[in-house]
Homo-oligomer: A and B are copies of this chain.
Amino acid sequence: MTQEASWTRKDLLGIAELEPGEIRAILDTAETFLEVSQRAIKKVPTLRGKTVVNLFFEPSTRTRSSFEIAQKRLSADGLNFSAKTSALTKGESLVDTALTLQAMQPDLIVIRHAYPGAPHMLARRLEAGVINAGDGAHEHPTQALLDAYTILQHKERLAGLKVAIVGDIEHSRVVRSNIHLLTKMEAEVTVAGPRTMMPRAAETLGAKVVFSLEEAITDADVIMMLRVQLERQSRLLFPSAREYFRLFGLTRERLKVAKEDAIIMHPGPMNRGVEIASEVADGPHSVILEQVSNGVAVRMAVLYLLSGAHRELA
């Protein structure tokens, strides 16, 4: 419990501001929650009587459901708001919506918003703890944490690992949070993708930048494939899904240059046959579904630490 006791932040806004010790505190705490989901009675009373508001201004299945399940397994009272049903359609500002929710005394607010920095603005204004569930192309900290947890399960360390992240680097909050986390924990990160999907100042992200899938994954311990946003294709970032697959799609054949025990990750939802072949997604190297399982445990850990429940117990 020494790790937990050291947790003092009210919010989880991004990985950028976390110390390695804080990252370890979350991952260690997740370890204790993992088995709750494997019991016959998947529930602990830890957050009983705590109110958690899920404020999703962008559609989401997996992240929202992961948070919701985490809340129920902790016995928290969760409330869901989505953009369409919110007062925002009546022209209320995000701050007023948040202050109104705050006045109902929630303990935690989980927010996904298209605007980078939206969770930070709320965090400054609200007493409730704020968890960033994705803000534009900025950060998605619980995704990076569940990715790290999954890597640790297989590799038992992060330091010194070669990690390749492949796809639309420019528009991905998953990439930003993962580079922050992995470099803090001393992994070596290489990003790869088409030039049209690479930010101009990619090197400043803290990762090595290449433009070839093969180069990125050669000798890699961990390969993270990113979702291609087919809905953005109108902006002509690449000629076609078929062309993308030809250049950056991960196949069993291409995987041969990676380490023999490399693991394949994907934040989901996958485009099979675009960024990843089904033979890889469903193959022996894939840990994609483990990521989902670990997501519930990691979010239980974050909810627990931010709720202050560990301080009440201490």
Contacts and interface: CB of A to CB of B under 8 A. Distances in A.
Interface in A226-275: 227, 230-231, 268-272
Nearest to A105: B37
B86 A85 contact: no
Contacts of A215: none
A295 B101 CA distance: 11
Number of copies: 3
Nearest to A47: B41
B292 A66 contact: no
By size class, the interface of chain A is 35 or more
Contacts of A231: 90
A40 interface: yes
Contact of A269 (B100, B104, B272): B100
A82 B86 CA distance: 13
Given A99-B289, A105-B37, A289-B103, A91 B230 contact: yes
Nearest to A37: B105
Interface stretch (A8-16, A17-25, A69-77, A216-224): A69-77
A172 interface: no
A292 B98 CA distance: 12
Contacts of A49: 39-43, 73
A48 interface: yes
A32 interface: no
A160 interface: no
A178 interface: no
A49 B156 CA distance: 31
Interface in A47-92: 48-51, 53, 59-62, 64-66, 68-69, 72-73, 77, 79, 81-82, 84-87, 89-92
A153 interface: no
Contacts of A296: 104-105
B62 A290 contact: no
B37 A42 contact: no
A77 B40 contact: no
Contacts of A268: 87, 92, 96, 100
A170 to B, nearest CB: 18
Given A90-B269, A99-B289, A50 B42 contact: yes
Given A79-B72, A312-B40, A87 B293 contact: no
A86 to B, nearest CB: 5
B48 A43 contact: yes
Contacts of A106: 69
Interface string A288-314: 011111011000000000000000100
Contacts of A102: 289
Nearest to A89: B59
A6 interface: no
Given A37-B104, A61-B97, 5 more contacts: A42-B105, A62-B100, A65-B81, A69-B106, A72-B77
What are the 6 A-B residue pairs with the smallest beta carbon separation, nearest first? A41-B49, A103-B292, A92-B269, A43-B49, A61-B87, A72-B77
